[in-house]
């Protein structure tokens, strides 16, 4: 490597945002490992039925909490990054707004439990009656993430995402060894860890931001931003999971199982970049002049990391599937190989979407995801009968590519950038280091 390139690389690594990005990827990888340990322990200790109830209850609570949070993480990270002096007012206004939203979410979810778990007997419903209060915890975590990102407290953000997953994994392993791991303890232990970390995180955030009088006009504006931004996040999750949801109507349960495993592994590539995208939003919003440079540089880095991870997964896919899920799941490798190229592009789209968010256009970032959903639905309906899970993997990759191209076009237009800006060159690398 030439001296000029070494100097450019050192200058790049000297920047706070770049160091934060490297830290984010490291913490995200550790978090994925901790989540993998948790999943394996719960599956082995509780069996398919117990794991199913545990995952279902946790998913319902998390989804209800996320919906009732009204995009607070994206909103606070954007507004506080732009105008830090509004932080105390925004904190108070959002807390007062989220309290009734949390109460409504808990009430509605409690009423829906008998319908959601109509086939699981009384156990899931009985446990769910008290477990749904976890919705408050989910909302609090989203609030704290927004405060940390808005103040660009990136290390604390990453640490507070990783620590509870690590504590949860440790607690579940101990309970398993002691033969005390039940559905109830599998639900309680992780959330105790999240509660402890949330208290620590909010204490840090409130000290940094402060508390001020509410401002309902500013609150309405930030709430509307958050609601529009939440649409993109929901649409992205639907796009990522719509193929698995549609499969049971076309293929056997065994093929659904194989394909779901392939999807879960391929989306590791996306999840790593999506976590990093949380940092890109406030970093670009707080510095409008250099915002496009940060977004484009982050896009290059994201595609490089995602591509590297995809290559490793492609080369180790078969033994990895056998080791983690058992020999019967090695048949998922063909679908995995077809999904990985799309997953790399999907990862890149998360960075570009963060750039659109940073320019105050959250709903614009939703449109590419809707296009991806249309491609998925039309493609699966047209080809699943004859192509099975191979067709599903190809359609999903095409859908992810559609989202990437559409988001790229959207960001180019909103940021008013020439196409040449997106090509990585040494000159642009030097620009990043300035």
pLDDT in tens, 349-378: 999 998 998 888 888 888 898 888 888 888
What does the alpha-carbon distance between residue 15 and residue 294 come to, in Å, rounded to a whole number? 11
- Work out the average pLDDT over 187-204: 89
Are residues 70 and 172 both part of a single domain? yes
- Work out the average pLDDT over 183-194: 86
Q: How many domains does the chain have?
A: 2
Structural domain that includes position 127: 38-214
- In this predicted structure, what is the pLDDT of residue 96? 93
**Phi and psi of 182, rounded to 5°?**
-120, 175
On whether residue 9 sits in a domain, the answer given is no
- In this predicted structure, what is the pLDDT of residue 433? 53
On whether residue 29 sits in a domain, the answer given is no
Task: Specify the pTM.
Answer: 0.79
- In this predicted structure, what is the pLDDT of residue 15? 63
| Measured CA distances, 300 to 144, 153, 411, 423, 428 (Å) | 29, 23, 15, 9, 11
On whether residue 24 sits in a domain, the answer given is no
Are residues 248 and 196 both part of a single domain? no
Q: Confidence class of residue 326 from pLDDT cuts 50, 70 and 90?
A: low
- Work out the average pLDDT over 28-32: 81
CA dihedral sign, ordered 231, 237, 238, 239: positive
Is residue 255's pLDDT more than 60? yes
Are residues 279 and 149 both part of a single domain? no
On whether residue 31 sits in a domain, the answer given is no
Are residues 179 and 292 both part of a single domain? no
Output the six-digit token pair for 183: 């559905």
Is residue 6's pLDDT more than 50? no
- In this predicted structure, what is the pLDDT of residue 275? 79
- In this predicted structure, what is the pLDDT of residue 45? 75
On whether residue 266 sits in a domain, the answer given is yes
- Work out the average pLDDT over 30-47: 77
- Work out the average pLDDT over 191-205: 90
Are residues 413 and 297 both part of a single domain? yes
Give me the percent of the chain exceeding a pLDDT of 70: 86
Q: Tell me the per-residue pLDDT of 100-116, one tens digit each, with 9 for 90 and over.
A: 999 999 999 888 888 77
Residue 296 or residue 388, greater confidence: 296
Residue 323 or residue 66, greater confidence: 66
Are residues 133 and 202 both part of a single domain? yes
- In this predicted structure, what is the pLDDT of residue 203? 92
Q: Confidence class of residue 382 from pLDDT cuts 50, 70 and 90?
A: confident
Give me the percent of the chain exceeding a pLDDT of 90: 18
Q: Confidence class of residue 13 from pLDDT cuts 50, 70 and 90?
A: very low
Are residues 358 and 434 both part of a single domain? yes
- Work out the average pLDDT over 232-252: 71
| End position of a domain, from candidates 180, 214, 248 | 214
Are residues 180 and 239 both part of a single domain? no
- In this predicted structure, what is the pLDDT of residue 199? 92
- Work out the average pLDDT over 342-348: 92
| End position of a domain, from candidates 214, 245, 265 | 214
On whether residue 230 sits in a domain, the answer given is no
Are residues 133 and 276 both part of a single domain? no
Are residues 204 and 290 both part of a single domain? no
Q: Tell me the per-residue pLDDT of 259-307, one tens digit each, with 9 for 90 and over.
A: 777 887 888 888 878 778 888 888 888 888 888 888 888 898 889 988 9
Q: Indicate the average pLDDT of the chain.
A: 82
| Nearest partner of 356 among 274, 284, 252, judged by Cα | 284
Are residues 333 and 241 both part of a single domain? yes
| Nearest partner of 317 among 297, 295, 299, 343, judged by Cα | 343
Residue 265 or residue 394, greater confidence: 394
Dihedral, CA of residue 200, residue 206, residue 209 and residue 211, to nearest 10: 170
Q: Confidence class of residue 401 from pLDDT cuts 50, 70 and 90?
A: very high
Are residues 188 and 268 both part of a single domain? no
Is residue 412's pLDDT more than 80? yes
- Work out the average pLDDT over 127-144: 88
Range with the lowest mean pLDDT among 99-113, 295-309, 379-393, 408-422?
379-393
On whether residue 21 sits in a domain, the answer given is no
Q: Confidence class of residue 404 from pLDDT cuts 50, 70 and 90?
A: very high
On whether residue 172 sits in a domain, the answer given is yes
Q: Tell me the per-residue pLDDT of 48-92, one tens digit each, with 9 for 90 and over.
A: 567 667 777 777 788 788 888 888 888 999 899 888 898 899 999
């Amino acid at each position: 490597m030439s001296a000029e390139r070494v100097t450019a690389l050192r200058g790049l690594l000297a920047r706070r945002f770049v160091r934060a990005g490297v830290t984010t990827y490291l913490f995200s990888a550790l978090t994925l490992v901790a989540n993998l340990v948790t999943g394996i322990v719960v599956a082995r200790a509780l069996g398919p039925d117990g794991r199913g109830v545990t995952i279902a209850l946790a998913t319902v609570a998390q989804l209800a909490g996320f919906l009732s949070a009204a995009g607070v993480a994206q909103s606070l990270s954007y507004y506080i990054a732009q105008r830090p002096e509004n932080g105390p007012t925004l904190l108070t206004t959002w807390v007062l707004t989220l309290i009734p939203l949390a109460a409504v979410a808990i009430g509605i979810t409690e009423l829906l439990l008998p319908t959601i778990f109509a086939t699981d007997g009384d156990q899931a419903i009985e446990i769910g009656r008290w477990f749904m209060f976890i919705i408050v915890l989910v909302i609090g975590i989203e609030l704290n993430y927004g405060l940390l990102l808005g103040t660009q407290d990136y290390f604390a953000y990453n640490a507070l995402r990783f620590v509870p997953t690590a504590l949860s994994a440790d607690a579940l392993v101990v309970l398993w060894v002691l033969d005390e791991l039940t559905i109830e303890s599998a639900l309680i232990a992780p959330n105790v860890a999240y509660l402890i970390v949330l208290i620590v995180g909010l204490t840090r955030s409130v000290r940094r931001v402060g508390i001020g009088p509410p401002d309902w006009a500013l609150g309405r504006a930030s709430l509307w931003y958050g609601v529009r931004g939440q649409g993109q996040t929901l649409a992205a999750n639907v796009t990522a999971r719509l193929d698995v949801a549609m499969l049971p109507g076309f293929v056997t349960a065994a093929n659904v199982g194989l394909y779901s495993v392939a999807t879960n592994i391929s989306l590791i590539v996306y999840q790593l970049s999506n976590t990093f995208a949380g940092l890109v939003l406030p970093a670009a919003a707080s510095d409008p002049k250099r915002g496009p440079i940060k977004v484009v540089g982050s896009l290059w880095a994201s595609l490089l990391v995602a591509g590297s991870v995809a290559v490793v997964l492609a080369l180790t896919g078969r033994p990895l599937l056998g080791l983690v899920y058992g020999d019967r799941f090695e048949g998922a490798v063909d679908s995995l190989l077809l999904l990985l190229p799309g997953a790399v592009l999907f990862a890149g789209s998360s960075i570009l979407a963060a750039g659109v968010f940073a320019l105050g256009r959250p709903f614009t970032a939703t449109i590419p995801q809707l296009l991806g959903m249309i491609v998925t639905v039309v493609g699966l309906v047209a080809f699943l009968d004859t192509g099975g899970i191979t067709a599903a993997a190809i359609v999903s990759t095409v859908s992810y590519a559609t989202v990437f191209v559409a988001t790229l076009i959207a960001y180019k237009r909103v940021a008013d950038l020439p196409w040449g800006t997106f090509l990585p060159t040494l000159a642009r690398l030097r620009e990043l280091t300035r």
